Amino acid sequence: MSETDDSTRDLLRDTATRLFQDLCEPAALRAAEGGNWPAPLWQAVEDAGLPKALVPEAAGGSGVSFRDAMVIVHAAGWYALPLPLPETMLAGWLLARAGLAVPDGPMTVAYGDDVSLTLNERGCYPRGHARRVPWARDQNTTIVAMDNAGRVTIAPRGDCAIEPGENVAREPRDTVKLGGRSDLSGDARLDRMQLRAVGAALRAQQIAGALERVTEMTTQYALDRTQFGRPIGKFQAVQQNLAVLAGQTAAAGAAAGMAAEAVEETIRLLPIAAAKARCGEAAGIGAAIAHQVHGAIGFTFEHTLHFLTKRLWSWRDEFGNETEWNQLTGRHMAKAGPHRYWAEITAA
């Protein structure tokens, strides 16, 4: 890693941390769960240029590498940011890759087996249903549609029908019925599985960030909470659980870093598959231990812990869960054969 890479990453991390720690207060998180769009928070994030971090400078962005930009997504996970920042970064990256102009404001990506783009001399016609699309319901959200061939367009907002839905963390996950006609289209030079993998790399970073904060909170609570005249962190059973939590958090951080390095001009599926599966496993184990240590207080609406653990439970299933990515890895290894087993592992 060069000194320039270090300085860029530190600058992005410091910028994101200052913004999120000031604006992601529990009251803001509770309001977002109630369906209120945090407009001042989004404006602050956009003013800092974070949504277009992955967009090249020539297209109006910052031109940051995917690996460097992941410190923003990691911080978003740490603070349980109630905004579609990772989704907007993904949509901007996709539009820029397809050679299309990247608009301001929040964005999301609609894709799936049922999504199609029909091109003719009159324009591009997006059709089909995209399910569990993050943050699509807000009127300010630009919907970027991609079909299975990698063709990309911006779906006309007024011609799309939105059916609201949500994940466990009460983040919007909506069904979008695409319609209308667009004058713009481009080729992103990737398929649906590769797009899904890039999304999985983003979710891995969010999981890693949230787990780091959960570990910090849980460790501090174990030191502060007393039982039978001493901190519960002095009991061996609790210490063992904290050690497991720390190990899962470290594994998730390493896996998320591996996934970030796999997103380049060519998307390498195998390391992302292994990383997302490992982060999903860590999310489940880590959230369970955190609630065991905190006890009943961790489930109360006033406590901060549930904002993180509900997101961990949600993010582990989004852009593919452990089963999906482990099956992809298994099929790849089976096809490679026993003589290629070690070479495939070390290549990832």
Domains of the chain: 3-187 (1.10.540.10), 192-347 (1.20.140.10)
Judge contact between 143 and 191, C-beta under 8 A: no
pLDDT given at position 261: 96
pLDDT given at position 143: 97
Q: Angle at which helices 192-224 and 305-315 pack, to 10 degrees?
A: 150
Whether 2 shows a pLDDT value over 60: the answer reads no
Class of residue 333 by CB neighbours under 10 A (exposed 0-12, middle 13-18, buried 19+): middle
pLDDT single digits (tens) 149-205? 999 999 999 999 999 999 999 999 999 999 999 999 999 999 999 999 999 999 999
**Which residues sit opposite 161 in a β-bridge?**
177
Q: Taking the model in full, what pTM does it have?
A: 0.95
- The mean-pLDDT minimum among 90-104, 119-133, 295-309 falls in 295-309
State how far the Cα of 195 lies from the Cα of 320, in Å rounded to an integer: 11
Per-residue pLDDT band at 348 (split at 50, 70, 90): low
Q: Kindly give, in sequence order, each residue whose CB lies less than 8 Å from that of residue 274, ignoring residues fewer than 6 positions away.
A: 255, 258, 325, 329, 348
Whether 7 shows a pLDDT value over 90: the answer reads no
Class of residue 184 by CB neighbours under 10 A (exposed 0-12, middle 13-18, buried 19+): middle
Per-residue pLDDT band at 4 (split at 50, 70, 90): low
- Nearest CA among 137, 53, 30, 41 for reference residue 83: 41
Whether 3 shows a pLDDT value over 80: the answer reads no
Q: How high does pLDDT run on average in the chain?
A: 94
Residue 245: other Cβ atoms inside 10 A: 24
State how far the Cα of 77 lies from the Cα of 211, in Å rounded to an integer: 8
- Nearest CA among 322, 314, 245, 311 for reference residue 276: 322
For the chain, give the percent of residues with pLDDT over 90. Answer: 86
pLDDT single digits (tens) 301-321? 889 999 999 999 999 999 999
